[in-house]
Chains A and B, each alone.
Chain A
Amino acid sequence: MRTPVRRRANRFELEDAIIKLPATAVSYLQVAPLLLVLLAFFGIPLLMIVGVSFFEFDGISSVPAFQFGNYTELFTSRNTLTLYVKTVEYALIVWAITLAIGFTVSYFLAFHVRSILWQMALFLLCTVPFWTSNIIRMISWIPFLGRNGIFNQALMATGLTREPLEFLLFSDFAVIIAYVHLFTLFMIVPIFNSMARIDRSIVEAALDGGSSGWRIIWEIIVPLSRTGIALGSIFVITLVMGDFFVVNMMSGGHSASVALAMYNQIAAVQYPPAAASAVILLIIVVLMVAAILKMVDVRRELAG
């Protein structure tokens, strides 16, 4: 019986010796796995994309080189601007809608549902669809919005319209509905998390001071949930900016996004032009996120 106990004690001493490194050295050891994985699967691949974007491409094969042909082609094509305008338009519309829904739903859950149990149950109810396939959730709109779909049937049954509405499916409308359906959760989770941490006594104090509900929302709840709002906005905007399969499926080929155009290039093995447009897309996404981070210091607020 004695030996295992002693060995145990020794093990702890040994581990103590290992762990008794300078504090920053421990931090470096702890962060090293993250750094390794991100460098190997994000850093190096990113450099690779940048490198390939300068390769020469003659329409069939790519040759290692350093020239700006892919970029000049990208900037001189009229198509590029149209694609970017369309993609940014999708991103902004979806951002506004998901923010409105996400804020309202989180506010309801955090401040109007009184029991914690109900709060968690309703929150879970919102997150369950997130566990099922995005692609399945997307195509589930097809029988709903189609020409003979449920929505049109209902409209005609109630006599609101005589003819089925054609614009519902395979249109910008369908694309935006699908985005909102898929991505609102990315807004709800961070905003709800921020709101759940707001000290209720602040709200009580404002109420006692005779403040109106709207003023409390605008002057207390919005500022105090800004970390969640910023994080949610980052998620939604980057998801829409990088999307290709929702646009492909739900627009029925009537619309395109930057990433879809890039995907088509990749499928056609046109790597250098695809890499060039990837670099430009990434720069735009980074600028958008930097603008959000400039308004809200997410790291300080999360760690604070």
Chain B
Amino acid sequence: MQRDLGKRPRSFYFLAAFFALFVAFLYGPMSAIFVLSFQGPTGGLTFPMNGVSLRWFSALFAQERTGDFAGGFTRSILLALLVLSVTVVISVLAGLAFRRRFFGSTLVFYLAVASLIMPGLLVGLGVGLTYQTLGWSPSWFSSGLGAQLTWTIPFGLLIMFAVLSRFNRAFEEAGRDLGASNWQIFWLVVVPILFPGMIAVALFGFTLSYDEFPRTLLTVGAKNTLPMEIWGMTTNVTSPALYALGTVTTLVSFTAIVLSLGSIALIQRRRTRGLGKHDVVKSEA
């Protein structure tokens, strides 16, 4: 148990060792495929390494057999951005709505929970059947988008519940007392306070969508997103090119993480600076 001062208890070291093992468990297999993707030209899917080469990376981009890797990647990113924006807007609004009890609020809440727990394949099946019945053709930006939203929006709503439970309504009241319009209260008080929560919803929305498989499988239509391309590869590519694909997509994800965390840090820094300025203006006024 933690004390601010003094020696660390013995349990700390046990737990730290457990944590280290868990991290090794998370990263170990990934590092194995990272190494194996540099397998020599005669090497196979397992160790030992028969030399070192970049052959499988070039195979990835050259071979027709590996499918439409670049197209799938572009569509996945676009779809993830779309899901992110819609999820943030809808879950923030709904989160605000749930601060009041309104007739049917429990029902809407359980609808969201049901949507969250619905197995992904079933969402895909249902949306697919609906489109088929209506005679519409499914595509990643219509049925695919909708199917993914049934999972990202409830997630976003839960995050907003957690964020809003710590939100002090006195700030809104203060704004109102100072003569702010509702719109000003929303943009100048509510949104800045909720901003970190909105970032969390956005990050969740993006990752859940970028990697979504079971809901998208039956709703993606003719043009695949990246997980479908990868899934296709696992069934018909039996060379280390598969691992090369793993390495490339992982690097892309890592770049995305670094970029988004960097931009969050930047925004936060700018905001604290901006807040400082505001304080000066306010105190002068």
Contact = CB atoms under 8 A, between A and B. Distances in A.
Interface of A: 11-13, 15-16, 19-20, 23-24, 26-31, 33-35, 37-46, 48-49, 52, 101, 104-105, 107-109, 111-112, 114, 122, 124-126, 128-137, 139-144, 146, 148-150, 153, 181, 184, 193, 200, 203, 207, 213, 216, 231, 234, 238, 241-245, 249, 259, 262-263, 266, 271, 274-275, 278, 281-282, 285-286, 289, 293, 299, 302-304
A26 to B, nearest CB: 8
Interface in B252-284: 253-254, 256-257, 261
A107 B15 CA distance: 9
Nearest to B39: A143
B181 interface: yes
A181 B117 contact: no
A42 B32 contact: no
B91 interface: yes
B33 interface: yes
A266 B218 contact: yes
Given A45-B127, A131-B256, A299 B90 contact: no
Contacts of A104: 15, 18-19
Given A33-B89, A302-B161, A289 B129 contact: no
Interface in B68-105: 86, 89-91, 93-94, 96-98, 100, 102-103, 105
Contacts of B146: 37, 40-41
A34 B91 contact: yes
Contacts of B164: 303
B122 A281 contact: yes
Say what secondary structure dominates the interface of chain A.
Answer: helix
B98 A136 contact: no
A231 B100 CA distance: 23
B46 A12 contact: no
Interface string B101-144: 01101001101111111111111011101100100000000000
Contacts of B127: 41, 45
Interface of B: 1-4, 8-9, 11-12, 15-16, 18-19, 22-23, 25-30, 32-33, 36, 45-47, 86, 89-91, 93-94, 96-98, 100, 102-103, 105, 108-109, 111-123, 125-127, 129-130, 133, 146-147, 149-150, 153, 157-158, 161-162, 164-165, 181-184, 207, 210-211, 213-214, 218, 226-227, 230-231, 234, 242-243, 245-246, 249-250, 253-254, 256-257, 261
A249 B90 CA distance: 36
Given A49-B126, A149-B47, A289-B117, A31 B93 contact: yes
